[in-house]
Amino acid sequence: MDTTQYRDLVESRMREAGYQIQASSPASLMGYTKAFKLQWMASTLHLLVHVATAPTVTGPELTAFTQQALDHAKATKGQMRGFQSGVAVVTAVVGDHVEEDARRYARDTIVRGYAAFAWPTTVDLGTGTRTTHHGRPVIGAVFTPWIRRQIDTLLPEPGAH
């Protein structure tokens, strides 16, 4: 599987899961959904999933992509952020190779802002691995199981589909 095929697989999974595709090109993809749950203290969470492809995924590129995606989400869906409304972003950079600094950033980092957070992810097609945060976040912890289900649904381990 190459990066374009994986991106196409993610787009198909987004459509099946009811996401609105807001941007799609051979090298990138953006989908949107929102959810309201009483167990989230009757809150609405706007989720944007940004996917990009690159031959090699680096830490600085993943960091910049994640921050840009979070800024975009706050500008487009986050005007009413606060007690009962939040914005989340899952970023995924898919490559034939993922450098260790990018893997570490995805594994160890959740980018936080006021009623907003971003969850970076890498997909290494060369090794067949997906790396995403596995810790126990304190801030925004109520959303963690749902976000992880979205990642599992949309961003499969390469070769596991």
Instruction: Report whether pLDDT(110) > 60.
Output: yes
DSSP per-residue codes, 40-74: GTSEEEEEEEEEEEEEEE-HHHHHHHHHHHHHHHH
Pairing of strands 116-124, 111-113: antiparallel
DSSP run (H or E) holding 119: strand 116-124
The string of pLDDT tens digits covering residues 94-106 is 999 999 999 999 9
Give pLDDT, residue 67.
96
Cα-based angle 36, 39, 45 (whole degrees, multiple of 5): 30
Between 85 and 53, the more confident residue is 53
Domain coordinates in residue numbering, the chain: 3-154
Give pLDDT, residue 87.
86
- State pTM to two decimals: 0.89
Give pLDDT, residue 139.
59
Tell me the pLDDT of the chain averaged across its residues.
Answer: 87
